[in-house]
Amino acid sequence: ASAPSEAPPVAPPAAARLPPHCQQLPRSEPRCPSARPPALTAPRAGGCPGQNGESAVPVARAEKPSLQQLYRLGPLLGSGGCGRVYAGTRLADGAPVAIKGVPRDRIWEWARLHDGALVPMELALLSMVSCPGFRSVVQLLDWFELPDGFALVMERPERCQDLWHLLHAGGFLPEPVARGVFCQVLQAVRHCTSRGVLHRDIKAENILIDLATGEAKLIDFGCGTILQDTLYTHMAGTREYFPPEWILFGCYHGQPATIWTLGILLYQLVCRHLPFKTREDIVRGQLFFPPRVSQECQHLIRWCLCMDPADRPCLEDLLEHPSLQKPHLTQETAEIHPSA
């Protein structure tokens, strides 16, 4: 996941319309690792979490065994701006896990749990969305505070590959497969929204696919934050996915920005490459589709990528779109084979 980005807006073109809610908005100072943690709490330990519910994630107790006593660390799986992820094994039963190490100096935002523990925002968000009965979001299993940071222990599906590597190893996804993956991502985003969580970095690299079943799983909440109705004046995530309102005006609402990101993702699934490479490309907003992409799929992508946030659909609109009502490969029957 990329670290939070604070970039000055480019000058809007003559035809651009500045939203009234952005005109008098003062810009906030960029966040830094030493920023004062916000007055924010995450759910208590307990059952399935909700925005005002409970968390299935255990608390960190002084008498709890150490990370090394409970888990065996394996090879590095990947690294980013917020930490490194290692393969691991739970010693009690041999279950595969992923262990993310988050250095203290890379924690951009903090939250305070109900038991008083001050933790990275990523940990708090994972505790809010983790629910054993919901499989489309990665589950946080355990966590530890270490001298130099935190360790987050998450589930690790064994036969999986992230969408980015899947696409680049083979090619675009046929529309029936893309529909199946995209519908699962929509369900994951709806789950996060219902728990009050804004992911902010939905992209192919952050979606794991079970190669045998086609089951999709949203991972990496390192750029996420609490969902709010008011405007955000800080951005986190990946630049090619930034919405035009952030580039032009330096502010955005969480849900329309998420819809924009989903449009970018769907375009990449069916076309293999991203639609925009630069800030200027994003503001220009020109889309080009190969002939194989159906008109209904094109319409859905264009709707998500409307320049005016008010013209974009909501999540429920997307789920009811005609292109997603067609038969698609389900997680029980799909086997992912990208097309060249």
Active-site amino acid positions: 201
Q: Are 304 and 266 in contact (CB under 8 A)?
A: yes
Question: Is residue 50 a known part of a binding site?
Answer: no
Question: Is residue 155 a known part of a binding site?
Answer: yes
Complete edge-to-edge strand list for the sheet that includes strand 118-120: 41-42, 110-113, 118-120
Question: Is residue 85 a known part of a binding site?
Answer: yes
The first and second tokens of residue 271, run together, are: 């076309």
Q: Are 156 and 98 in contact (CB under 8 A)?
A: yes
**Non-local CB neighbours of 281 within 8 Å, separated by 6+ positions:** 275
Q: What are phi and psi of 13, to 5 degrees?
A: -65, 165
Strands 96-103 and 83-90: antiparallel
Question: Is residue 80 a known part of a binding site?
Answer: yes
d(CA 312, CA 318): 10
Neighbour count for residue 12 (Cβ, 10 Å): 14
Question: Is residue 100 a known part of a binding site?
Answer: yes
Token pair 């076309």 in the structure block, residue: 271
Question: Is residue 148 a known part of a binding site?
Answer: no
Question: Is residue 77 a known part of a binding site?
Answer: yes
| Torsion (CA) 158, 162, 166, 169 in degrees, nearest 10 | -90
d(CA 155, CA 174): 29
C-alpha distances (whole Å) from 64 to each of 142, 143, 278 are 11, 11, 48
Question: Is residue 297 a known part of a binding site?
Answer: no
> Which segments of the chain does DSSP mark as H helices, in order?
20-23, 67-70, 121-129, 163-170, 175-194, 244-249, 254-271, 279-284, 295-304, 315-319, 322-325
Residues tagged in the binding site annotation for ATP: 77-85, 100, 155, 162
Residues tagged in the binding site annotation: 77-85, 100, 155, 162
